[in-house]
């Protein structure tokens, strides 16, 4: 099934952030932000590389003082991805970041309030062809709007904040803009983005701000971002987690892949939930496999299954999988048994085969082994387990009988 066809993206205009197009027909991009001091050039670059490796298309760095701006001047030419400078209260830092050669600025309308300053930055961006993200934040709304809307943060106030900023930009003929209206409340950010998308065709940057540490932060971010993406809203996304930013980039990338909005780049590891038939600690093997694959760019679906009785069949659509049985790992490729290895070699075998398939293809991988022998071995272990466990290892029939007796 072509899953991308089921999500119709809302049309937006395209803007260019360095080498990455945001909006229009461009793939939805993943963003993250460094946590280093931007003045620490080597430390920041190392983190940018890690973020790019984990799936970030664009990275933001704070530009909070002149030392940070000087750092950006050294970072931008060495960065593998476009750099956005995060500007807080000082509009002069925006001008300094432009001097440093950044590919985009992020301005918070609640922080830089003087119209002259806003227009000066927009004019300078216009001259250099650098876009701006209007980054409205529910937690730092412009005081006038906060008052106007009764001292609470509302979706209407956030949208109006973005529109006011756009109006200032308009006065100097600048419209190279993407917009975010983030809030830490998921329902509020969803409503704000819905309202915003109804009144503008500027590309939208989605996020739940201050989502907190995983797993709650991941859940909140996914709830907000995925809901909007499913409605066709959103052109670029960022998970804001209290965690290593590599986790943000990885989560963003995985969300887009899971929703069929980006092509798979890394391993998609699936695992059975384990049950009465499991011959191994599925969670442990799956976690070790995840760790072993790391950020390797192998776009395959790999399955870890608890038993050879049902595993190869249940995961027959996976590119590659392994199922446990009788202290052995039964490896299968697209549902066909291909090899048997000792249980403690399951993870390294998966990695080795995944690399081989990635390089040579499924057919070549199958051709290098005697599948008849592997299938016979699997059948032998399967029969043995069935004989040991019976055909009701999960006591399903007993439960059904109990239920029946209630009738």
Sign of CA dihedral 64, 70, 76, 79: negative
Q: Which stretch binds ligand SF4 (CB under 6 A): 11-19, 67-75, 89-97, 268-276?
A: 268-276
Of residues 223 and 375, the one with the C-beta less far from ligand SF4? 375
User: Footprint of ligand SF4 on residues 10-39 (CB under 6 A)?
Assistant: none
The count of residues interacting with ligand SF4 (CB under 6 A) is 13
Contact characters 218-257, ligand SF4, x per CB under 6 A:
----------------------------------------
Q: Rounded CA gap, 125 and 243, in Å?
A: 32
Least CB distance to ligand SF4 at residue 374 (A): 18
* Pairing relationship of beta strands 328-333 and 336-342 according to DSSP bridges: antiparallel
Of residues 35 and 310, the one with the C-beta less far from ligand SF4? 310
Least CB distance to ligand SF4 at residue 319 (A): 17
Q: Rounded CA gap, 383 and 387, in Å?
A: 6
CA distance between the termini of the chain: 41
Closest CA to 71 of 51, 41, 42: 41
Least CB distance to ligand SF4 at residue 287 (A): 16
Residue 314: count other Cβ atoms within 10 Å of its Cβ. Answer: 18
Helix (H) or strand (E) holding 404: helix 396-405
Kindly state whether residue 151 participates in binding ligand SF4, applying the rule CB under 6 A. Answer: no
Q: Rounded CA gap, 171 and 152, in Å?
A: 29
Kindly state whether residue 314 participates in binding ligand SF4, applying the rule CB under 6 A. Answer: yes
Kindly state whether residue 185 participates in binding ligand SF4, applying the rule CB under 6 A. Answer: no
Instruction: Cis check for the bond before 215: say yes or no (omega within 30 of 0).
Output: yes
Contact characters 273-312, ligand SF4, x per CB under 6 A:
xxx-xx--------------------------xxx-xxx-
Using CB under 6 A, list all residues that contact ligand SF4: 272-275, 277-278, 305-307, 309-311, 314
């Amino acid at each position: 099934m072509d899953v991308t066809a089921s999500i119709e993206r809302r049309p937006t205009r395209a803007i260019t952030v360095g080498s990455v197009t945001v909006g229009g027909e461009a793939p939805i991009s993943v963003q993250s932000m460094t946590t280093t001091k931007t003045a620490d050039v080597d430390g920041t670059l190392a983190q940018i590389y890690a973020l790019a490796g984990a799936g970030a298309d664009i990275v933001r760095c704070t530009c909070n003082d002149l030392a940070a701006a000087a750092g950006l001047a050294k970072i931008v030419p060495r960065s593998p991805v476009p750099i956005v400078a995060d500007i807080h209260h000082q509009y002069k830092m925006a001008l300094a970041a432009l001097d440093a050669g950044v590919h985009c600025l992020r301005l918070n309308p609640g922080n830089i309030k003087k119209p002259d300053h806003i227009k000066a930055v927009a004019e300078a961006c216009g001259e250099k062809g650098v876009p701006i993200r209007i980054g409205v934040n529910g937690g730092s709304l412009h005081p006038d709007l906060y008052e106007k809307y009764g001292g609470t943060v509302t979706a209407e106030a956030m949208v109006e904040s973005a529109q006011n900023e756009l109006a200032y930009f308009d006065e100097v003929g600048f419209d190279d803009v993407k917009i975010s209206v983030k809030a830490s409340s998921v329902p509020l950010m969803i409503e704000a983005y819905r309202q915003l998308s109804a009144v503008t065709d500027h590309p939208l940057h989605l996020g739940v701000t201050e989502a907190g540490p995983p797993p709650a932060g991941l859940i909140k971010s996914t709830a907000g971002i995925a809901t909007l993406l499913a409605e066709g809203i959103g052109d670029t996304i960022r998970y804001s987690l209290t965690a290593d930013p590599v986790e943000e980039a990885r989560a963003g990338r995985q969300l887009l892949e899971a929703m069929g909005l980006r092509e798979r780049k890394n391993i998609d590891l699936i695992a059975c939930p384990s049950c009465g038939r499991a011959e191994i600690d599925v969670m442990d093997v799956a976690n070790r496999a995840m760790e072993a694959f790391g950020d390797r760019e192998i776009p395959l679906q790999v399955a870890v299954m608890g038993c050879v009785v049902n595993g190869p069949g249940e995961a027959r659509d996976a590119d590659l999988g392994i199922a446990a049985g009788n202290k052995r790992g039964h490896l299968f490729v697209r549902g066909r048994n291909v090899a048997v290895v000792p249980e403690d070699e399951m993870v390294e075998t998966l990695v080795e085969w995944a690399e081989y398939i990635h390089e040579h293809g499924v057919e070549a991988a199958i051709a290098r082994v005697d599948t008849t022998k592997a299938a016979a071995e699997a059948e032998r272990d399967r029969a043995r387990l069935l004989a040991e466990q019976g055909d009701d290892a999960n006591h399903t029939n007993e439960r059904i009988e109990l239920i029946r007796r209630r009738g």
